[in-house]
Chains A and B, each alone.
Chain A
Amino acid sequence: MIVEFGAFALTLALALAVLQLALATAARMRLSAVLAGAAGGASIACAGAVLLAFGALTLAFATSDFSVANVAANSHTDKPMLYKVAAAWGSHEGSLILWCLVLTGFGAALTLARGLPFGLKTCAVAVQGGLGALFLAFALFTSNPFARLDPAPFQGASLNPLLQDPALAFHPPMLYAGYVGFSVTFSLAVAALIEGRPNSSFWPAWGRWVRPWALASWVMLTIGITLGAFWAYYELGWGGWWFWDPVENASFMPWLAGAALLHSAVVTERRGALAGWTVFLALLAFTFSMLGAFLVRSGVLTSVHAFAVDPERGLMLLAILGATAGAAFALFAWRAPNLKGGGLFAPISREGALVLNNLFLTAAAAAVLLGTLYPLIMEAATGATISVGPPYFALTFTPLMVVAFLILPAGPLLAWKRGDLVGAGQRLVLAGALALGCGFLGWLAFEPRKALTAAGMALGAWLILGALAEVVERVRLFRVPLAEVVRRVRALPLGAWGMTLAHAGLGVFVLGAVVETGFKAEAAAALPIGGQVEVGAYSVRLDQVQIVEGPNYLAEQGRLTVTPGSGGRPKIVTAERRFFPAGGQTTTEVGLDFRGLDDVYVVLGERRATPDGAQAWSVRTYWNPWARLIFLGPMIMALGGLLSLLDRRLRVWVPGRRVLP
């Protein structure tokens, strides 16, 4: 009954989305506040209906109702409750409902946002309704999660045990919130193309309206991607965290476009310039999100993430992508020539630096796009199969980012309109010298010595110190009396702290990525009880192996002692090999010894016999120096974004904001 109710709520949501589109369009044409209010009501009701549908599906999963085909295919009574609930978005159908929930939820939030002018808001609500209608129709007609099975099976097929992990339970919701959040920037961009006038005060205001949505989406996408990378790191069992897998790339492209959008929207807001470019990026970010959905759900990619290998659904998604993005970019091509104008600026200026940022981020996104799609296009066009993997991205993506990172700290030190490059350089001399010193220390600290890795460490330190130098400069530390410095620190807007944190977080990530990639060590051996293996500066001893029983698995659990060679405190870790009878699958749970910034990573393998016939277990160990920073850095970046979001100037919910600057 609940299930039929869910199916009904989903159908109702589709009708409401269509109604929202129609009412908002009519409201705009007739300039009717009553119709606009009705469209807003439809938008909120639509989000409510999808929430009910999603709740019904979650309930079906929580109660293991195997008469629902989707539940039977993805759940099992033995699973812990967290994973029963998480399985609601673990399949193609369920995750599509989550997608629709976020889409309509953002639509409702847009309806409730204050301060937007009538025309722009009504247009954006109409576009958001159109997007909602397309995706809800897709969910309802090709991927209905409420389809029943008759007879209902006695037991479900369970969720892939690799996905039964806390990080992965929260990875999809965060990721989707980020992906689909860009739908609002898309709608606002389309609305601006319809409503916008050249050379008016419209564009700075539009820049201000679009920024909070872009920032919120980008923050959630950052967290989502980091959770996914962390999951890959400790669950897949070989210590990697980014593989340039096509599906990882699919989430990375909107992230890059979103990062570019954040920076370009600042220029539009402050100076009214780059309006056309900002609109383009706002359209691009959501187009990349939809492209990602197509790649993951159509079966054109082979990947661990690919669900729903169904060409028909793929074609439908391609049609949605082509229709929405095609229409939006056609509108852009038609209206963009009207977007000229805005503040003038010299090439050496804050605006100029932000243009460079956009240039490199866009080119990096293009490298990721080409690397992801090229094998598909080439196979379709010529039949030749090629692989594009990490070496390609190391030669294209990485150099672009290195140049961008070298320029980055100078940007915030340049004035708007016309900057003083020499002055900015002088303020960064100390940071630059210290960064080079850090690189040199890094070169000395790690064996074997690697010049390229040391250069990478200097680059990471440069980003962190450059971000700090900017704060020091802003508060005039050491140049004015302390009381004045304190006053200035307190007067700094949250947005400034947000920027500093985000840039420093990027440096933290670079440090971690560079050191981990340069110096990680790996050792594998067949260990009897009491046997030892050396990895990096640590030795790992196998103490005990026992069988333990989990809620829905049996595991062989090894207890190992990790001892640092330098004489630190030994630490005990447990590593497991889990067997899930429901699907007949085996997974590994790695043992992680967190030591300062380093991880010692232990994987328990199969039982095997040593040459003299004794029992032994194959044990693989990794020493991943500074691996902590790889995940800490992006989290600092997300925190920076969050702080900026709390800045009063960006809070959409603060009442009584002025509408035009």
Chain B
Amino acid sequence: MTIRLSAHPRKSQELVLPAHSIGGLETDLHPERRAPQMKRVSSFAGLNGLLGLLLCLASVAITTPVLAEPEARPDQPLASASQEARAQALFDEVRCVVCQHESIADSPAGIAADMRRLVREEIASGASDDAVRADLVRRWGDFILFKPPVSPATWLLWFGPAAIVLLIGAVFLVRARRREPSTLPLSAEEEGKLAELLRSEDVRPDTDASSPHDRREAGTTIVPPPD
């Protein structure tokens, strides 16, 4: 089990509230039992630590530490393997409401175990995946699903990356096309001039003109640029 720092207590408190509305579901919420703030500075910190140490030593084995959340009850997988697989797939999509950024599949929190049980119960009672999702959204809002709905408000989110590929790709293509004329083949007159130049000048091969993989014969020496 891990302890997380509640770095944003205001937010997690807000998130906890709607969870109480779970009908007939045992809610196992102990916000006060979550890890203490890291920034706790008081002259009593040392005393607290000493007290904790004494408590621990006294009970020989470590019983539940004072401030730690009790571990969730172990999960009971569904009897049907296909239903269990569907439930497992759904766990990855559902956010644990008291955690920082974890799915209920990963979270060790008690509420996550309850939510897993809820999902399993609904699947066992014959609900489709979409029905389970809809029910979760009804209880907790869109926040509960790690996959936000596609709506006009989230178009930018969903289609933004593809739009960027098209946009930047189009810009590059247009610019490449605009430059095309300058790479037209040379006229006969220009070819003649070039041949003249090549005859008269001491020409060094351009190492950039071809990759090492072109079909140049082995043994051709390339003059390296002066270093």
Contact = CB atoms under 8 A, between A and B. Distances in A.
12 contacts: A155-B45, A156-B45, A236-B2, A270-B208, A303-B100, A309-B8, A355-B172, A390-B103, A396-B162, A579-B52, A585-B65, A618-B71
Contacts of B42: 153
Contact of A586 (B48, B65, B227): B65
Contacts of A72: 41
B113 to A, nearest CB: 11
Contact of B164 (A157, A159, A161, A366): A366
Given A304-B4, A413-B211, A581-B53, 19 more contacts: A157-B39, A161-B3, A237-B108, A238-B108, A240-B106, A299-B8, A347-B173, A363-B162, A370-B160, A374-B156, A374-B157, A388-B146, A400-B161, A413-B213, A415-B213, A547-B61, A554-B53, A584-B49, A606-B64
A585 B35 contact: yes
B211 A582 contact: no
A400 B45 contact: no
A544 B108 CA distance: 24
Interface in A142-177: 149, 151, 153-162
A391 B147 contact: yes
Interface stretch (B24-32, B121-129, B175-183, B193-201): B175-183
A175 to B, nearest CB: 18
Contact of B52 (A474, A476, A581): A581
B23 interface: no
A124 to B, nearest CB: 25
A539 interface: no
A386 interface: yes
A414 B101 contact: no
Interface string B183-227: 100000000000000000000000011111111001000000111
Contacts of B158: 396
B39 A586 contact: no
Which 3 A/B pairs are nearest by Cβ-Cβ distance?
A: A389-B146, A155-B46, A391-B147
A359 B171 CA distance: 11
A628 to B, nearest CB: 21
A606 B68 CA distance: 11
Contacts of B144: 387
Contacts of B64: 606
B168 interface: yes
Interface of A: 69, 72-74, 76, 149, 151, 153-162, 236-238, 240, 243-246, 270-271, 299, 301-304, 306-307, 309, 343-347, 350, 355, 359-360, 362-364, 366-367, 370-371, 374, 378, 382, 384-392, 395-397, 400, 413-417, 419-420, 423-424, 427, 473-474, 476, 479-480, 484, 524-526, 547, 554-556, 577, 579, 581-588, 605-607, 618, 658, 661
B100 A245 contact: yes
Contacts of B213: 413, 415, 423-424, 427, 473-474
B95 interface: yes
A149 B39 CA distance: 13
A526 B164 CA distance: 51
Contacts of B95: 387, 389
Nearest to A419: B211
B69 to A, nearest CB: 9
A498 B7 CA distance: 41
A391 B70 CA distance: 30
B169 A302 contact: no
A554 B62 CA distance: 8
Contacts of B182: 344
B80 interface: no
Nearest to A247: B101
Interface in B119-160: 141-149, 153-154, 156-158, 160
A359 B43 contact: no
A9 to B, nearest CB: 25
A362 B57 CA distance: 56
Nearest to B56: A554
A474 B154 CA distance: 48
Nearest to B37: A157
A323 B75 CA distance: 51
A420 B210 CA distance: 10
Contact of A370 (B45, B153, B156): B156
Interface string B65-98: 1111011001100000000000000001101000
A566 B227 CA distance: 60
Nearest to B158: A396
A524 B75 contact: yes
A395 B156 CA distance: 14
A480 B61 contact: no
A414 B213 CA distance: 8
Nearest to A661: B225
A556 B7 contact: no
B157 A370 contact: yes
B100 A583 contact: no
B38 A73 contact: yes
B142 A585 contact: no
B39 A73 contact: yes
A467 to B, nearest CB: 14
A356 to B, nearest CB: 8
B172 A388 contact: no
Contacts of A374: 148, 154, 156-157
Nearest to A77: B46
A387 B93 CA distance: 10
A591 to B, nearest CB: 15
A203 B103 CA distance: 48
Given A299-B8, A303-B7, A584 B36 contact: yes
A583 B36 contact: yes
A153 B92 contact: no
Contacts of A160: 5, 35, 38
A484 B220 CA distance: 12
Contacts of A582: 45, 49, 52
Nearest to B177: A347
